[in-house]
Amino acid sequence: MRTADLPVRISVVKEMNMEQDPLVSPFYKMLERSDDIPAFLLNSNWNEINRNLSAAVNAVMLGQDAEKLLNKAVEDSEKYMKK
């Protein structure tokens, strides 16, 4: 059983009081506003966007500058966003 993943069910989040954790609560704020449609179905260019974000997250996990890398990933991905 995987134990490092964040729960995707709000009932589990509440049961574990994870919405109180300042490090993970932003993920659940996003879930509350979600319409249950996966991002890759909403944007035909999702692979490019995901590639940019994944590269930034991987670099951050290796100790590089999070703010700079994530801002760059967003900037690089904006051209793929639907207007």
Q: Is the pLDDT of residue 83 over 60?
A: no
Specify the pTM.
0.52
Helical axes 66-77 vs 46-61, angle rounded to 10°:
170
pLDDT score for 14: 86
pLDDT per residue over 14-67, tens digit each? Answer: 888 888 888 888 887 777 777 767 766 777 888 898 899 899 999 988 999 989
Q: Please give the DSSP secondary-structure letter assigned to residue 73.
A: H
Which contiguous run of DSSP H or E holds residue 14? Answer: helix 10-15
Give me the residue spans of the domains in the chain: 10-36, 41-80
What is the Cα–Cα distance from 45 to 51, expressed in whole angstroms?
A: 10
Tokens of 37: 């449609």
pLDDT band at 2 (very low <50, low <70, confident <90, very high): low
pLDDT band at 1 (very low <50, low <70, confident <90, very high): low
What is the Cα–Cα distance from 12 to 63, expressed in whole angstroms?
A: 31
pLDDT score for 68: 93
Q: Please, how many CA atoms are within 13 Å of residue 11, restricted to the half-sphere of its CB?
A: 0
